[in-house]
A and B are shown apart, each in its own frame.
Chain A
Amino acid sequence: MTIKQNKQLMLGDEAIAQGALDAGISGVYAYPGTPSTEITEYIQASADAAKRGVHREWSSNEKTAMESALGMAYAGRRALVCMKHVGLNVAADAFINAAITGVQGGLVVVVADDPSMHSSQNEQDSRYYADFAGIPFFEPRHQQEAYDMMASAFDLSERCRLPVLMRITTRLAHSRADVARGEARPENPLNPPKDHRQFTLLPANARRNYQALLDRQAELFAFSEASPFNTSEPGTDTSLGIIATGLAGNYLDEVSAGNHPVVYIRQYPLPVAMVTFLYEECDELLVIEEGAPFIEKKLVGLLGEHKPVHGRCTGALPRTGELTPDLVRAAMRKKSEPPRTILDIVRPRPPQLCKGCPHIDTYLFLNAALEEHLEGRVFSDIGCYTLGALPPFESIHTCVDMGASITMAKGASDAGLRPALAVIGDSTFTHSGMTGLLDAVHEKTNCTILILDNDTTGMTGQQVSMATGRLEQICLGLGVAEEHLRIVVPLKKNHEENVAVLQEEIAYSGVSVIIARRACVQIKRRV
């Protein structure tokens, strides 16, 4: 009954990282993003990775990470690239086209989705992206499987000569369990492709490659049907058949499937024969999947609507948000005792800026400077400073995607909305803000941009910021006028002076950049 001695407690993210190291990766590429960050951090901290010289520096954004990983896979070596779900939007151009080029060495793209939006602005399901790209994808059920699957994913990637996506969710990424390591495999030697047409997607080559990708789909389905990660549990009660994907299988087991037949799916494309068999055997189906009703919608298309298929579309499970054992129990129409209630005296406790955070002083001088400009708007971005939307500051009016602060301020200014201000962190600026600033400089747009430079990528846990030490040079290089590039220190004692600087730059009819520079208080705590 007791577990093996060689087991270690690992986050799902850490199990993936160790699995990738043991699968012989030569590099990991990533930009920090909750809940994917700890994969790269684990490899950065690994003595084995250091000894082997595994590449493990952060990238500027997910697109540069994806392309660098593709370059490593081009060279014949195995590469891992990790990101949160919305990061795949940033990397999508490279990702989709990597399916057209294919790979030489194994390329595994790990994407951490965030159903219930614990730390994100949407809950998009990355399985759609992999399906769209036409590549195989995995959805591990637990930490041990996440570890084991990395070897399978890299092997499959090299066997199919395609990138492979592994989709996890917050609950697996940030949950620990005991994990046993397997054998480690050596890294691949350098082996770039000899046929230069493969990676040169001129239309003539791309058409040929795309046809080859389509021709390979039948083989990918066959791999899924035969995969050890797709399993069937027979059952005698065929009034209901259950399909559970990835982590959802755990919730089903927690509440027990009873005597109902079950298909557990963790490798895609969807094993159609397995699912069709279940459909034909049972009167009704229940589809339990974390995220969007990806399989549920496919089934209705695939099998018609002759038999009821229950799931997130039908209301058997909620359309949005993370699954829980309790939701699965209710979907199976099992009885349960009502739980204790949360008393009315319990108030929400939202996250807030840390005591002593430089953003607090920045928002205080921003609010003071805007007292005379209540018609103005502040376009913000993704980071700790997004908490400036909440009381007591209520300083910012938007938060959409990485880099959207500067570009939305530009568009609003183009429309005549003034003053148009942007608030963006240093790391977000080098991730996706620089090109937007170039647009504004090119057109001499009347906007005022505050770069909150805290020397780090704060919200995800103080990773290195590409902007550190080169922010002024970047702004000047992009063409910001020297006299409208201002540096302030957000401290209480500088409040009046900072208000005056901001007012001056709001009054200037052109592009101003104000760098509000003071280090994140968490950096000091970490040392």
Chain B
Amino acid sequence: MKCDIVLAGVGGQGILSIAAVLGRAALEQGLHIKQAEVHGMAQRGGAVQSHFRMSSDAVASDVIPLNQADLILSMEPMEALRYLPWLKEEGWVVSNNQPVDNIAAYPELASIHAALQALPHHVLFDGVSVATEHGSARALNMVMLGAASPFVPLAVEVLEQSIRTQFAHKDAKVVQTNLDVFRAARSLALQNMPQTT
């Protein structure tokens, strides 16, 4: 088993927490992991990405070769498009459709959505609404992980346990909110999968 994921977003959207949840779950399942992250200045509202690789065999490179990612998981629609050169021919893109418009001349949103919808395997939805419906816009990252979870070869209960651990230092309500949004988005993705293939 081998799975390569590009995590994408804007600094502050919490992709490193997604990586941490995935990494802990993969370690729990006895897999080898390499996960390259971006620290430092780029985290200040800029484009950020993390390459997450897990495999039953040892992983050589810390970064994913072009054309080899099984999944792009993005917190922001334009950011999903930035990493298309890494996506496998048959790979999936799971992206939030709500933009983070913190740059001059953000492109027309409809053209961004159209480009994502033109991909053969995609899940594009309003993750922000799912997060806010459950009371926390900050939980967007766990919404997106939930939506991507059907495409990730990790047991859902192991992922959920990893989410509990991730937020264990916060109060029980935060843990529950993150589990709720994860589950809600997961079922949303599972329901919509046939239409998006």
A233-259 contacts to B, CB under 8 A, are 247, 250-251, 253-255
Q: Give bound CA distance, A384 to B43, whole Å.
A: 11
Q: Which of B81-89, B128-136, B178-186 contacts A (4 or more CB under 8 A)?
A: B81-89
Q: Does A336 contact B (CB under 8 A)?
A: yes
Complex interface bits, A111-132 against B, C-beta within 8 A gives 1, otherwise 0? 0000000110000000000000
Interface residues of B (CB under 8 A from A): 10-11, 19, 23-24, 27, 30-47, 56-57, 59-63, 65-67, 78-79, 81-82, 84-87, 102-108, 111-112, 115
CB contacts (< 8 Å) of A176 on chain B: these are 19, 23, 33-35, 37
Whether A34 contacts B41 in the complex (CB less than 8 A), given A3-B30, A176-B23, A348-B47, comes out as yes
Count A/B pairs, Cβ under 8 Å: 155
Task: Please determine whether A171 and B40 come into contact, CB atoms closer than 8 angstroms.
Answer: no
Q: Give bound CA distance, A336 to B86, whole Å.
A: 13
Interface residues of A (CB under 8 A from B): 1-3, 7-9, 11, 34-35, 37-38, 118-119, 142, 171-172, 174-178, 247, 250-251, 253-255, 324-326, 329, 336-337, 339-343, 345-354, 384, 387, 391, 459-461
Task: Please determine whether B40 and A119 come into contact, CB atoms closer than 8 angstroms.
Answer: yes
9 residue pairs of the A-B complex, CB under 8 angstroms, read A34-B40, A34-B41, A177-B35, A340-B67, A346-B82, A349-B47, A351-B43, A352-B45, A387-B41
CB contacts (< 8 Å) of B108 on chain A: these are 345
Task: Please determine whether A346 and B86 come into contact, CB atoms closer than 8 angstroms.
Answer: no
Whether A349 contacts B40 in the complex (CB less than 8 A), given A177-B59, A178-B32, A325-B63, comes out as no
Q: Give bound CA distance, A391 to B105, whole Å.
A: 13
Partner of B39 from the list A38, A337, A391 (CB cut-off 8 Å) is A38
Whether A336 contacts B38 in the complex (CB less than 8 A), given A7-B27, A346-B82, comes out as no
CB contacts (< 8 Å) of B56 on chain A: these are 1-2
CB contacts (< 8 Å) of A1 on chain B: these are 30, 56-57
B5 to chain A: closest CB distance in Å?
A: 13
CB contacts (< 8 Å) of B39 on chain A: these are 34-35, 37-38, 119, 174, 461
Task: Please determine whether A387 and B44 come into contact, CB atoms closer than 8 angstroms.
Answer: yes
Whether A346 contacts B102 in the complex (CB less than 8 A), given A339-B66, A352-B44, comes out as no
Interface centre among A171, A175, A352, A353 (most CB of B within 10 A): A175
**A248 closest partner in B (C-beta):** B61
Q: Give bound CA distance, A166 to B108, whole Å.
A: 48
Task: Please determine whether B84 and A384 come into contact, CB atoms closer than 8 angstroms.
Answer: no
Whether A349 contacts B10 in the complex (CB less than 8 A), given A177-B59, A354-B44, comes out as yes
Task: Please determine whether B60 and A459 come into contact, CB atoms closer than 8 angstroms.
Answer: no
Task: Please determine whether A175 and B78 come into contact, CB atoms closer than 8 angstroms.
Answer: no
A148 to chain B: closest CB distance in Å?
A: 15
Q: Give bound CA distance, A342 to B83, whole Å.
A: 7
Q: Give bound CA distance, A38 to B37, whole Å.
A: 13
Q: Give bound CA distance, A54 to B177, whole Å.
A: 40
Task: Please determine whether A345 and B112 come into contact, CB atoms closer than 8 angstroms.
Answer: yes
CB contacts (< 8 Å) of B32 on chain A: these are 3, 177-178
Task: Please determine whether B106 and A347 come into contact, CB atoms closer than 8 angstroms.
Answer: yes
Q: Give bound CA distance, A167 to B145, whole Å.
A: 35
CB contacts (< 8 Å) of B102 on chain A: these are 349, 352
Task: Please determine whether A251 and B66 come into contact, CB atoms closer than 8 angstroms.
Answer: no
Task: Please determine whether A178 and B46 come into contact, CB atoms closer than 8 angstroms.
Answer: no
Task: Please determine whether A336 and B66 come into contact, CB atoms closer than 8 angstroms.
Answer: yes
Q: Give bound CA distance, A189 to B65, whole Å.
A: 48
CB contacts (< 8 Å) of B78 on chain A: these are 345-347, 349
A288 to chain B: closest CB distance in Å?
A: 12
Task: Please determine whether B81 and A343 come into contact, CB atoms closer than 8 angstroms.
Answer: yes
Task: Please determine whether B44 and A353 come into contact, CB atoms closer than 8 angstroms.
Answer: yes
Q: Give bound CA distance, A348 to B78, whole Å.
A: 10
Task: Please determine whether A171 and B30 come into contact, CB atoms closer than 8 angstroms.
Answer: no
Whether A171 contacts B84 in the complex (CB less than 8 A), given A119-B41, A176-B37, A349-B10, comes out as no
Task: Please determine whether A175 and B11 come into contact, CB atoms closer than 8 angstroms.
Answer: no
CB contacts (< 8 Å) of A460 on chain B: these are 40
